[in-house]
Chains A and B, each alone.
Chain A
Amino acid sequence: MLLSPDEWQIVGLSLKVSGVAVALTLPVAFGLAYLLARGKFPGKILLDALVYLPLVLPPVVTGWLLLIGFGLRGPIGSRVHDWFGLTLIFRWTGAALAAGIMALPLMVRAMRLSIEAVDRRIEGAARTLGASDWRVFWTITVPLALPGILAGIVLGFARSIGEFGATITFVSNIPGETQTLPIAIYAALQVPGSDAIVTRLALISVVLSLGALIVSELLARRAGVGRGGHVL
């Protein structure tokens, strides 16, 4: 497909924001998934609900919370800026933060299901053969849960590519910095005679999203998570 340099920049920025968002969210999501799948502790229901909150909370609320918390005047944003010299608001880093938070529930869900599906008797057998907990984790649990982990990564990536509400509320619309695919489409929609650009960008979105869903579904089937392997 032929895109203008501006359009390539939009696609490239979207891929960068989503890639960084998923990479940084991955360890957090896996830790939470493991905790929710295996852990028994007071407050588990609350943690469960908090993890899934971004999935059901209006994205504009998430964006507003980010704005008041992580803005230059916010209690977290001001310290991050002073201590690490890292600015989040109006920057692509903030877009990645918003995308990562929105992707977290989907990633945790896919990973949690696959961790729950791991046959614990196999882990037990490995232990009776003398394997340490650490070794059991890396040689049994992670490989068996791998399709779910990959599905979570792909789903989280797709969700990040599509993130709009929290992003525009928190980091606004700056071409080349925070103008990701959905925000570029939204802005272009208001410009007269932009139908061709909107169509091209929308097509890219459909292809990326469809591809991600198909890949995650194939991975989930291999994992045999649930009946039919649905992770959604």
Chain B
Amino acid sequence: MRLTSRCLSLLLSLCAAVSLSAAASAKPPLVLAAASLQESLNAAADAWAAKHHERPVLSFAASSALAKQIDAGAPADLFISADEPWMDDIQKNGFVAPGTRVSFLGNTLVLAAPAASKGDIAIRPGFPLAKVLGDGKLAMADPDSVPAGKYGKAALTALGVWPSVQARVVRGDSVRAALAFVERGEAPYGIVYGTDALSSKAVRIAGVFPSSSHVPITYPIARLAGSTNRDAEAFRLFLISAQGRAIFRHYGFLPHTPQAL
């Protein structure tokens, strides 16, 4: 009993110390970002921190999951989505700070295969995807909600092969979950972004989807209406600046000249 109360008081004083130290220093901005930005945005945050700013806290997940969290009132500062519809969703619900939404990156959609595999696939209307899958599965992000999955489903539908592979799809909860199944060789092919395939030594690009097969892949960024963080806007401007975009280009993204929406 005495031990318990001692543990409890220790715990309480620890909590107090933690909350005190949190109050003493200004909190760094919290950035919710699409899973495909993992390496590039971390590099950008490092570059920002190197300029004597507090390094932002980055949280990566499927844009769909993040948008749902924002809709539920997640106290974040910036949001970077891998497609426009999810940004539309939170903007419609009033969570975007006016005048801060900018689409600043583009990407490609590719068919990734384990690095040890061989053979390129010409992706064109009616290409024999079901046949090359053999008895294996096609890994992709959830085609009902996650941007990479939605682009992938749209592309396969436009090429007329979706009905033949629909039942073979393994739905990852983000594009990185799909990438991981290909990296391990558990799925012979996966639909991921070109940047995802470049980020992994364990996969290679077996084919690139023609850009005409899906709507352009764009990454909008916005500051959230509820954000009060002083650094958040400065970090957003840094990311969309020429210097920020150069970092993303290094990781294979196709930066746009920012167009405010």
Which residues does A use to contact B, with CB under 8 Å?
67-68, 71-73, 89-90, 168, 172-176, 179, 186-187, 189-192
Residue of B nearest to A176 (CB): B167
- Besides the contacts A73-B184, A90-B137, A187-B173, what 13 more A-B pairs have beta carbons closer than 8 Å? A71-B186, A72-B185, A90-B170, A90-B186, A172-B139, A172-B181, A174-B169, A176-B167, A190-B142, A190-B146, A190-B173, A191-B145, A192-B89
Whether A190 contacts B62 by the Cβ 8 Å rule is yes
Whether A172 contacts B172 by the Cβ 8 Å rule is yes
Whether A173 contacts B173 by the Cβ 8 Å rule is yes
Tell me which of B144, B145, B185, B186 has the highest count of chain A C-beta atoms within 10 A of its own C-beta: B186
Residue of A nearest to B144 (CB): A191
Interface string of B35-65 (1 = CB under 8 A from A): 0000000000000000000000000001011
Q: How far, in whole Å, are A175 and B137 apart by their CA atoms in the complex?
A: 13
Whether B171 contacts A172 by the Cβ 8 Å rule is yes
Q: Does B68 contact A (CB under 8 A)?
A: yes
Q: Does B177 contact A (CB under 8 A)?
A: yes
Q: How far, in whole Å, are A192 and B172 apart by their CA atoms in the complex?
A: 18
**Residues of A contacting B142 in the complex (Cβ-Cβ under 8 angstroms):** 173, 187, 190
For the complex formed, measure the closest distance between the CB of B84 and the CB atoms of chain A, giving whole angstroms: 14
Q: How far, in whole Å, are A71 and B171 apart by their CA atoms in the complex?
A: 17
Q: Which of B131-149 contact A (CB under 8 A)?
A: 137, 139, 142, 144-146
**Residues of A contacting B187 in the complex (Cβ-Cβ under 8 angstroms):** 90
**Residues of A contacting B145 in the complex (Cβ-Cβ under 8 angstroms):** 187, 190-192
Residue of B nearest to A168 (CB): B173
Residue of B nearest to A186 (CB): B173
**Residues of A contacting B170 in the complex (Cβ-Cβ under 8 angstroms):** 90, 172-174
**Residues of B contacting A187 in the complex (Cβ-Cβ under 8 angstroms):** 142, 144-145, 171, 173
